[in-house]
Amino acid sequence: MNDLLQSLRHELAALDAEGRLRPLAVLEGPQDAEVTIAGRRLVNLSSNNYLGLNTHPRLVEAAVAATRTWGVGSGAVRTIAGTQALHEELERRLAAFKGTEAALTLASGYAANLGVLGAVLDEPDAVVSDQLNHASIIDGIRLTRAHRYRYAHADLDDLEAQLAAARRDGCRRILVVTDGVFSMDGDIARLPGIVERAESAGAAVMVDDAHGSGVLGRAGRGTVDHFDLHGRVLIQVGTLSKAVGVLGGYVAGPLPVRTILVHAARPFLFSTSHPPAVVAACIAALEVMEAEPERQARLWVNARRFRAGLLALGFDCGRSETPITPVIVGEAGRAMALADALRERGVFAQGLGFPTVARDAGRVRTIVTASHTDEQLDRALEAFESAGRALGLLGAAAAAGP
Ligand SMILES: *Cc1c(COP(=O)(O)O)cnc(C)c1O
């Protein structure tokens, strides 16, 4: 036992030597446009709370009311303890939101990916996956026995080649899997092209729209709606933890997909369902997204404004086309130094380096939300300018800027 602990200490020391041991930031209040850390107010560019819903009074009230009516816990897994009507109500609403026949909720977006990939794919099958897909998709693929094909990020020709390989190998079911919006770069999947290539190869498509829902499409219906591809994407995975502002994941699609998941998805079969408070808050969130479209509009105004400000300063924002805006600075050490300098200047944003992103593409990732004010965004841009100059990240081109 002590040997294991000793060995862990060595591992931690090695991580520390590489500068990869970062303490968790402790927030002394809610996740909001500003957060309090160590008694200081900081502009928060780190959360996925796109629409500012996690402190919305209607969600809070719904959670409290549901707790009074339904209790704090759900008892056991749904196949054993039964399912509460509230959970089914949320699933009906999610299906309507996504324009699908049915939906099933799981503990998290992570669990949803593990569950759906494991339930719909087996040894004779194939999964064709974008190289930059989210870790939960990669882990879900690892847990299946399906043949694996990986295509270069957003490369439709490579996708076509991988689909042809899967066909040649005689695979039974073929599923193309992509993030709707890529979480490190903020670019949108080339979904129309992906769907076309998949249809030509007789393959189905699954979109993980964790960062697309609430952000893209009518009232935040997501990437499939944004491209008007209803009926051509078989499976839509989503999270309730980002724009929806609460916690959980779901799989939306045809009824047979839901039924297979109920019988075969291990994260569904072996993990207890959400507390009623979570479910009721999610239902309220979907109502607010319909009732207050100005939140989504404000999110986009803020995102465009903030990215324009960063570009004007001379920062490299990569291929971002959504509110996820990376500031790419090179190796991990520089990204961490920029994040630290921003923190000193009143901004909370994460530095990300290898192995989360490529070695030369370390970055500070920023996510603005609908709740940020112009004043907060201006303050954040000033901090970026000051930190960028202090670290020598802004060249002469930037100094001559607007
Ligand atoms: C965040 C994210 C998830 C995980 O969602 P959780 O609900 O936080 O578990 C899954 N897929 C993608 C693409 C994500 O960005």
State the pTM of this model. Answer: 0.95
At residue 107, the pLDDT reads 97
Q: Are 144 and 121 in contact (CB under 8 A)?
A: yes
Taking the C-alpha atoms of residue 213 and residue 94, their distance in angstroms, rounded to an integer, is: 11
CA of 156 to the centre of ligand 1 (A): 24
Q: Are 284 and 58 in contact (CB under 8 A)?
A: yes
Taking the C-alpha atoms of residue 188 and residue 181, their distance in angstroms, rounded to an integer, is: 4
The CA-based dihedral angle spanning residues 131, 110, 210, 79, taken in that order and rounded to the nearest 10 degrees: 130
CATH 3.20.20.100 fits 17-46+293-396, yes or no: no
Q: Tokens 């989360």 map to which residue?
A: 356
Q: Which residues pair with 352 in a beta bridge?
A: 363
Phi then psi dihedrals of residue 239, to 5 deg: -120, 150
Distance of CA 143 to the CA centre of its chain: 20
Q: Where in the chain is the domain with CATH 3.90.1150.10?
A: 17-46+293-396
Q: Is 98 annotated in the active site?
A: no
At residue 13, the pLDDT reads 96
The CATH class given to the 55-291 domain equals alpha beta
Taking the C-alpha atoms of residue 302 and residue 371, their distance in angstroms, rounded to an integer, is: 9
Q: Where in the chain is the domain with CATH 3.40.640.10?
A: 55-291
Q: Using a 6 Å CB cutoff, which residues line ligand 1?
A: 108-110, 113, 134, 136, 179, 183, 208, 210-211, 239, 241, 249
> pLDDT tens, 284-320?
999 999 999 999 999 999 999 999 999 999 999 999 9
Q: Is 242 annotated in the active site?
A: yes
Both tokens of 40, joined, read 């200081």
Taking the C-alpha atoms of residue 357 and residue 184, their distance in angstroms, rounded to an integer, is: 7
Q: Are 91 and 113 in contact (CB under 8 A)?
A: no
Taking the C-alpha atoms of residue 107 and residue 34, their distance in angstroms, rounded to an integer, is: 28
- The residue from 242, 273, 320, 372 that is catalytic is 242
53: DSSP letter: G
**CB-based contacts of 132, cutoff 8 Å, min separation 6:** 153, 179, 182, 184, 185
Q: Which amino acid residue places its CA nearest to atom 10 of ligand 1? A: 109
Q: Which amino acid is at 123?
A: E
Residue-wise pLDDT tens for the chain (402 aa)? 579 999 999 999 999 998 788 889 999 999 999 999 999 999 999 999 999 999 999 999 999 999 999 999 999 999 999 999 999 999 999 999 999 999 999 999 999 999 999 999 999 999 999 999 999 999 999 999 999 999 999 999 999 999 999 999 999 999 999 999 999 999 999 999 999 999 999 999 999 999 999 999 999 999 999 999 999 999 999 999 999 999 999 999 999 999 999 999 999 999 999 999 999 999 999 999 999 999 999 999 999 999 999 999 999 999 999 999 999 999 999 999 999 999 999 999 999 998 889 999 999 999 999 999 999 999 999 999 999 999 999 975 444 444
Report the atom number in ligand 1 closest to the C-alpha of 247: 7
Best CA proximity match to 100, nearest among 276, 203, 224, 231: 231
Q: Which amino acid residue places its CA nearest to atom 1 of ligand 1? A: 210
At residue 153, the pLDDT reads 98
